[in-house]
Amino acid sequence: MSKTYRKYGTEELMELIDVFNVSETGAAQIRAILAVEPEAPDAGVFFRYYNNRSKVVEFERQFAAHVGARHVLAVNSGTSALIAALVAAGVGPGDEVIIPAYTFFASASAVVVAKAIPVIADINESLMIDPDSIKKLITPRTKAILPVHMLGFPCEMDRICEIAAKHNLVVIEDTAQACGATYKGKYLGTWGDFGCVSLDAYKVIGSGEGGILTCKDDFMFMRAQSYHDTAACWRPDRYGKERVEGELFCGENYRMSELSAAVALAQLRRLDWINARTRYAYHKLQSLITLPKGVKWVTPNDPDGMCGYNLAMLFDTQDMAAAAQTAGLVGGNAANATKGLRDWHLAWNWGHITEQKSATSEGCPFKCPFAKDVPKYTRDSWPVSRGIMMRAGTIATTPDMTDEAIARKAETISTGLEKCLK
């Protein structure tokens, strides 16, 4: 171990610094985050309980204050947040949860893990779930709507919440890809009954692995706490009897670690800056790119509130999109689809759902005695969504892009699109 690092704290902490190969500045930041003194006898209590300086508790409080959430629970992943929210809302056998055809498979998987049936709605040209499609899919078995803010773009949360209120449905926002984004001035994840954020390495901010659950209702939040910590350490008297019916039941261990929370706290301080910078790059890059005939920009539901780390466009045909993707000008699915490659963000590739796969031969929840009229999906079940996604292309931005880098990228894309779409 480097003697240069040793001065920052204990050997245990320095092992982490060496493993992650951080700079001296990074090491200093880690020491500051964890509040480890140079000659401390140990690296601290890395557990949220029995710890009056818990980084997890501090992160929950700071995130709640930042977005204006009533309750916040830090968990070990965005998927865990979704599952805990579904269980807390009382979603279970025979219930249906409406999700979009464009989302990472974890959204669908969480519904199945909660023993319910995912009902898959079409998206519209905003690339988000279509509220009109939601309306058509509501049945007496529908328990919740799970809109997903893909690419950092917001769904039409006012319309979705109106639909939910009319039919007495729970709204669980999958905000995995849109931490810190807003819709009409209100943070995503605070519109619905629950918001679920991912903090993995590929999200707006990350803690390596981690997630956030926000909740409005006191009782449902208590149930989320209970499910995320089956040992029930969070209760005032962990060994006490159930205080209210519905509090105690078998759950999982979804707790966030103190180390993840320490990193999340540092990242939270950068959240607004990251989104402001990517949003600036988005609008600047879009203004400088000249789109050729046959291509148009995707219009986010709130251009001022989205994260901005992806521009999206729609081509007139799948062949045009594939040509631009093959040329390396934009990202997307059209080129991969022509090669037979599957993307887990597209419902028609979810063999787990279309073939009603289960971990055991009983086939639950699809063949559960409580499940009625379970949708029979095939790869061709979502022609509208497929037609949109096979024509979509994306351009990534980063918060550290300079004006010069943005101008160069705009010139490359403008020239490249004109050339490859002739």
Give the burial string for 107-143 (b: 16+ CB within 10 Å, else e). bbbbbbbbbbbbbbbbbbebbbbbbebbeebbeebbb
More confident residue, 302 or 421: 302
CB–CB of 91/234 below 8 Å? Answer: no
pLDDT classification of 236: cutoffs 50, 70, 90: confident
Predicted local distance difference test score (pLDDT) of residue 20: 52
Residue ranges covered by each domain of the chain: 3-34, 55-264, 272-420
CATH of domain 272-420: 3.90.1150.10
Predicted local distance difference test score (pLDDT) of residue 4: 32
Predicted local distance difference test score (pLDDT) of residue 338: 81
For the stretch 363-378, pLDDT in tens is 999 999 999 999 999 9
Mean pLDDT of 221-236: 90
Predicted local distance difference test score (pLDDT) of residue 41: 47
Predicted local distance difference test score (pLDDT) of residue 14: 53
Q: What is the pTM of this model?
A: 0.90
Q: What percent of the chain has pLDDT over 90?
A: 79
Mean pLDDT score across all residues of the chain: 90
Predicted local distance difference test score (pLDDT) of residue 26: 53
Q: Which CATH class is domain 55-264?
A: alpha beta
Predicted local distance difference test score (pLDDT) of residue 7: 32
